[in-house]
Structure 1
C-alpha cells in the first residue's frame, strides 16, 4: 500500500533550463549547445548540486576555459534567468494528492543549497511538501542510493510504501534498486494516467 509520494522538482514541477539564459548570450544556437555540452556541462553543474560551492565550481571552470569566462560566470551570476514557471498541470496533480489527505508528500531534489532558497521564494507550492531533501545541503545527490535512504530514514518512510516520480531514468532506476516503486515522468498527462492505474488518483 502506497502512503508516501516523493517528487523530483526540476523538469517535473519546475521549468529550469539553461537555454533560457544562454539564448540571450549566444547568437548562434549551435555555439550555445556546444558550450552547454562541452563546457558548462550537466556533470559540472551536478557537482554544485552535490555540495561544491558555486564560487569553487565557477573558478575551476574559468581556469580550464578562460576564453569562456564571461559565459561561465553568467551560469550562476544570472542563474535566475534559467528559471521558468511551474508546470501547472503537474502542480495540479500534486495539489490533488496533497488535498486527498491520504499521502505524505516529499521532494528529493538535486539542487544547489545556494540557489534553492530562490526557488522557495518563487514557487509557493514548495510549502505544500511535508519535507524536502536538497542534495546541496546534504552533500550527496541522486542517483547515490544513500541519498534516497536518507529521505526514508529521516521521515520514517518504508521503501515499499513509497512511490518516486522523476524525469531522469537514471534516478528512477536507482530508486527502484533501493526498493522504491517509481514512475519515469514524461508528461503531466502520462503521470496522471499512471497514478490512476495504480489507484492513487
Structure 2
C-alpha cells in the first residue's frame, strides 16, 4: 500500500522546454554541444556546490560576448507554464491527507527565483507538501543513490510504501533499485492529473 508519494517538479507540475533551452543555449554560445566542463559546472550548481555569482562569473569568463542578463535569460529559457489544474490536484491531495506528500527536485537558485517571479502561486504549491526538497538546498542530486536514502531515512519511510514520480528515466531507475515504486512519466503524453488512473494498481 502506498503511504508516501514523492514528486519531481519539472515536467511533472511545471512544464519545461528542455529541447528548446538546449537549442537556444548552443546558438547563443556558438557551440555544437555542451563540453564535459560545462555539464560538470551545471551539475555542481544544481547540487548547491557553487554559488550563483560564481556560476555566472564562470559563464561570463568563458563567453565574454554575453551579458549577465543574456546568460540568466538563457538559463531560465527552460521554464514554461504551470497549469493551475495541477495546483488544484496537489491541493486536493493535501486536503485529503491520505498520503504523505514530498517534493524532490533537481533545481537551482536561478530557476527557483524565476519561478517565484512568474508563478504567483508558488508558495501555495509549496505549502501542499509535508517536505519540500530542492537539490541545491540539501546539496544532493538525483540520480545519485544518497538523495533517495536521505529522503527515506529523514522521513522514516519504507521503500515499498513509497511511489516516486519523475520524467527522467535514470532517476526512476535508481529509486526502483532501492525498492521504491516508480512512475517514469512521459510529459508529452501523460499528466500528473491522471496519476490514480495510470498507476491504479498501486492504490
TM range (shorter): 0.7 to 0.9
For structure 2, the 5+ residue unaligned runs are none
TM-aligned CA distance change 1:128 to 1:117, over 3 Å: farther
Give the TM-score normalised by structure 2. 0.76
RMSD: 3.4
Q: Distance in 1 between matches of 2:32 and 2:92?
A: 36
Q: Distance in 2 between matches of 1:101 and 1:59?
A: 45
- 2:104 maps to what in 1? 108
> Could you tell me whether the CA contact under 8 Å between 2:102 and 2:130 is conserved in 1?
yes
Superposition map of 1:51-66 within 5 A: 51=48, 52-66=50-64
Q: Distance in 1 between matches of 2:84 and 2:196?
A: 13
- 1:141 maps to what in 2? 141
CA shift at 1:173, angstroms?
0.5
- 1:193 maps to what in 2? 197
- 1:4 maps to what in 2? 4
How many residues align? The count is 193
Cα deviation, 1:113-162, whole Å, max 9, x if unaligned, reads 46435545732222101111111011120011111111112222221111
SS in 2 for 1:66: coil
For structure 1, the 5+ residue unaligned runs are none
> Could you tell me whether the CA contact under 8 Å between 2:4 and 2:99 is conserved in 1?
yes
TM-aligned CA distance change 1:12 to 1:19, over 3 Å: same
Give the TM-score normalised by structure 1. 0.76
